[in-house]
Structure 1
């Protein structure tokens, strides 16, 4: 920092909403070219502080001074007149304008001193410079606001602040919506502004970013006075202790992990990439590095395995909840709506029998036929939501019913073979296997152009369940690539694969052009010790 003169001073600043204190007794100052970080838990008053400094709201008490003079901001325009620019956590943009006119809204570059017509060429040149510095594509300048992503909207808000000359820049947590690369570019831009004697106040939950770019850190904690620490003389742990208002390890450690987890994961991925590159360049000469890399890769794989298990468990819960919702909906349709419709149909039948006018009797007969068709459709919907036979008679009966119904509806012959010793399995497994076969038959109907389907279910000597579904259709032109199918929005085999994975099973796909397609799925027994006699 070149200048040692106070630019902004805040003394005992407070904001109350009725009896509730959103911000209370905050005091600090900032000099030209200084970068001040603001941290605190949710509800500590970070955004309230930025709104007070930016003129969005007015304080309930305390004072703000700018260059030694007391100021009172009634509107954001009052703050902007002094050179205070603010980027909100949720960008405030004009939705009816394109990006370029949003960036220069209210501060268009004029073509001359006398003609206040906007100079689009100069505005485009300045916008290109700022967007390039932020790593954003130049084409973004011509887009309309409703077409932008959250990250692009934040880039527009940052560009608007950077395109205007300022003396104090208020950045209210702009980093989370940006990609990691653009976060780094924004931090570099903050350092450049500091060298240009522009003061910056930055709010962020990422302590790594705060420590990398700030000169001092302001910690807000509801119930305690605000604390200011020199960045070079403090540690992340001390800052976290101030944030949570405690030095107890069981309270501090989880918060440190939460603050640094995302940033640390990105750093680990980048570090792993660099180590891999070094290993490729000189594998034989760097045995020690090779061992370190293997250890790091093992740690990464273990972390990925834990994450995959957590994701599978979450997906399993979602599927279970979805099946429960389907069952409840099917029961409601059957027990209430269908029964009501049948009751109305009986009432209409009695009314029809009492009529003597033949035309009216025929009209009522048509209405009753329509109600019966609706009831039939609702029963089919109930069956699709929850196969009625699976609860009372098990998987074997449900598959027989499904195959028979599917064969009649689609005109494709189904050769069904079910092991007589198949037996019952836990409800979640039976439902998942039923959905797998249901989705497989749906794929045959939509894509195979087949005339024959062979479906078999059997037990292995280790009590695993093997499902084989084969057709004589056109097959696939190339080997199955589940990633490519997902990108092309063909989710049939992808969905089957996910269900099989959640059951701990395996899936094999055999296909050749014109030779049909065969699915072989093996689901392990839920009882590991059980074997077939």
Structure 2
């Protein structure tokens, strides 16, 4: 059988430094030749000479019966090369790199469908990578964005695009994890079965003995040994690599060589795991950001809904206060005036007409009842809309209400109003007044208090503080504001809503010496006494 490749006295020097000297060997179809050499031995230069990249100073190479003239394009001769460092174009996509130099230029028919060249190349590239156990979401990815291992597997796929007569594997497994190293070894065995010659550059003893037929050793730029793999062992190969048969030197070298590759495999595996972890973290981070954005959007939507609800509540309260104001005015200006007129007419009738004593007593009693009704209506008007609040402000209105309330209930009330209190917005003044009304109503119904202290002070030019405390029984231990509505108690809930609508803060607790302490701090726009 004629050799597929004959290398005769191949030599290469850089300036005066010899790198490869007089290397000769033959390679037959289906044969796997392993070439081993330590760092600086010239192994990489020999790989470049065999792949047509470097031009020798001496010697020649005959491939498939033809003498090679350097430099030459390996692919055109049927030689595929898988370099240790993938020779890829970073700015090209995966498919472009795999088919570089082997592009499909014409469309093909598949049944009744016309398959365009690019789509056909994408399909082939994806299948080649899938056969290697590698998948990408698209063949349009730029190779510069791939990991080192992914780039190497793309380079391997490029060597599979079309049938080759010889494949040069220049330590291509160095960048790969253990599973992908095994794929390279399996490929070499498949090429061997198909009659493809393989030159396998590697110092990995396990790999060399697993797939090669012969092992050639390069040391100090020269071929120093050529073994049949089945007829040699690791010690002989290492002895040729280091240039000694001393077991005390060979054994540590074998141990170091084996552990070096295992450590490198482990390091590459850890690197790949790190990349996967970083991707998972990035994906999780992206998911977290999406969830946070969704949550923020929901919070914004909820805030808008709450704001709309508060605005509606404010409008409702304002409309209610306007209705109460109108009702109080109508009662005062119409109903009370009508009753006063009736009372006056009865008085005139009683004084100008001669009536018996029984009728006169009846008219007198009627006038007293009418006066009582008028007084009740006036109290009702004051409750609906305190007359002093519009003219004198909330401070005077609270003092007036407290005095009337003390007279009715007998519970002593002390009122402390900030002397520097200025007029506040109408909504704020009405809310403060209603809060005091509701608190005193609760004191009367529930607290059993004998004394109440009301304080209204400015805490800042834009904030006012209302506090109410009593000496009653205070709140029960199991008090829960959220449960009040279910029990039909709306007083504190109403106070809480009013304070919230004004953007204020409400707090309440039991005093250490008994009784309830309630505090409402309410912001308000800067206003002047003129208002």
Q: TM-score range by the shorter chain?
A: 0.3 to 0.5
Greater C-alpha Rg:
2
- Structure-1-length-normalised TM-score: 0.46
- Structure-2-length-normalised TM-score: 0.47
